[in-house]
Structure 1
Amino acid sequence: MSDPEVSAATAQPDPAHFGGSRSKTVTWYDPMILAAAAPGMTGLEFLTSLLEGRYPPPPIASLVGMRPVSVRPGDVVFQCLPDESVYNPIGVVHGGLVCTLLDTVAACAVHSTLPAGVGYTSIEIKVSYLRPVRAGIELTAHGWVTKPGRRVAFAEGDVRDPSGAVLATASTTCLVMG
C-alpha cells in the first residue's frame, strides 16, 4: 500500500496552527555605487572603506545581517546575528547562511590582497558543518589566505560562536581576474 500523493494543489494549509506570524524588513542601497568604486581601490582599501562606512554595504550583507569587523591584508573577520527567518525545516540556521558567511570571509580575505583594478570570483568552496547553529547567537566568521596567486588564490575560514567553539569550516578557491 502506498501513501496518497500530496501536491501543492491538494494540500490544505491551516495557518491557525502556524503560530503568530512574523515579518522582517530589509533595506539596502544602490549596489552600483559600491561596484563603481571598487576598480579604483586596492582590495584592502575597498574593504576598509566598507568597514568604515564610507560606502553602503552590499545588498547581501543587509539581507543576512553580516558586517565586517576587521580587515587586514589576507585576513578578515565578519559578524552576523542570525534570526529565526533563516531557520530550515528542522529548526536550526540553514547551512546556506553559514556557507554564505564562509564564502564572504574567505573571498574577502583574497580580495584584501589584490591591487587596484584586479577582481576575483569564488570558483569552489568546501564547507564542513560541525555543530548546529541557532538564532540569536552572534557568529564570528574569520577568513584568511593560505596561498595568494596571480591567477588563482586559496583561502580558508571558520565560523565560531561567542564561546569560541568552531561551528563550521571552509576552504575556497578564487579565480583572480586582472
Structure 2
Amino acid sequence: MPTNRSRTIHYQSPEADKKTLFERTGLEQLRALVDGTVSPPPISSHIGLEFISVSEGDVVMTAQPDESHYNPIGSIHGGFFATVLDSACGCAVHSTLPAGVGYTSLEIKVSFLRPITAETGTVTAHGWVTRRGKSASFAEADIRDSEGRVLATASSTCLIIQKGPAQ
C-alpha cells in the first residue's frame, strides 16, 4: 500500500495588495514581487514559483515540481506545465503595461516535449513578448531543466484591459 503524504500550502491573501496594485506599471508591480515588497500571488505556493528576473517584455522564473503534481501515470501533470507557461507568458505581457492597465489570458497553446518528474528538480521558465498591441499582446515561453533541455513551449494571446480589475 502506498505511503500517504500531505502538503500544506501557505500564502498571504492578495486583498491588501489589490487596492494599490494598479497604481503601478506592470513592470513596477513585478519588480515589487521580485524584491519582496509585495506578497507573491497564491498560485506561487502551489507550484513553488519564484521570479528570477523581470525586464520589460521578458521574465524568467523557476518552479519546483514534486510528487503532489503527479498525474495517474507517474509524471508531472500537464496542468503544471500549462500553469508555469501561462504565468511566464502573462507576466511578460504584464511587464509592458502602464499603470491602471491589466490583462487576462485569452488562449494558450502548450507543446509538451519531454516529461517532468519530481527528480527533474527545479525548472526554469522564460517568457517574452513577441508583439504588443493596444487590445491584445502575444507572448511565447519555454520551460527548461537544469541542463538547458527544453521540456515544453507555449504561445499565448493576452487581452489588454484598459482599466484594471476591481477598480
Letter in 2 for 1:105: A
Q: TM-score, normalized by length of structure 1? A: 0.89
Are residues 1:67 and 2:59 paired? no
Residue 12 of structure 2, aligned match among 20, 29, 36:
29
* Residue in 2 that maps onto 1:10: none
Letter in 1 for 2:129: V
Give secondary structure in 2 for the equivalent of 1:141.
Answer: strand
Residue 123 of structure 1, aligned match among 106, 109, 116:
106
Give secondary structure in 2 for the equivalent of 1:121.
Answer: strand
* Residue in 2 that maps onto 1:111: 94
Gaps of 5+ in 2: 163-167
* Residue in 1 that maps onto 2:133: 149
Q: TM-score, normalized by length of structure 2? A: 0.94
* Residue in 2 that maps onto 1:4: none
* Residue in 1 that maps onto 2:146: 162
Q: Deviations over 1:51-105 (max 9, x none)?
A: 1100111110112111111100000011011110000000000010110000001
Gaps of 5+ in 1: 1-16
User: Aligned partners of 1:95, 1:34: CA distance in 2, in Å?
Assistant: 30
Q: Deviations over 1:17-54 (max 9, x none)?
A: 2x211111100101112322321000000000001100
What is the percent sequence identity of the aligned residues?
53
Q: Deviations over 1:81-133 (max 9, x none)?
A: 11100000000000101100000010100000000000000000000000001
Residue 83 of structure 2, aligned match among 83, 100, 112:
100
User: Aligned partners of 2:10, 2:96: CA distance in 1, in Å?
Assistant: 30
Letter in 2 for 1:85: S
Q: Give every structure 1 segment of 4 or more consecutive aligned residues whose post-TM-superposition deviation is greater than 6 Å.
A: none
Are residues 1:42 and 2:45 paired? no
Contact 1:34 1:58 in 2 (8 A): no
How many equivalent residue pairs? 161
User: Rg: which structure is higher?
Assistant: 1
Give secondary structure in 1 for the equivalent of 2:22.
Answer: helix
* Residue in 1 that maps onto 2:165: none
Give secondary structure in 2 for the equivalent of 1:40.
Answer: coil
User: Aligned partners of 1:105, 1:162: CA distance in 2, in Å?
Assistant: 17
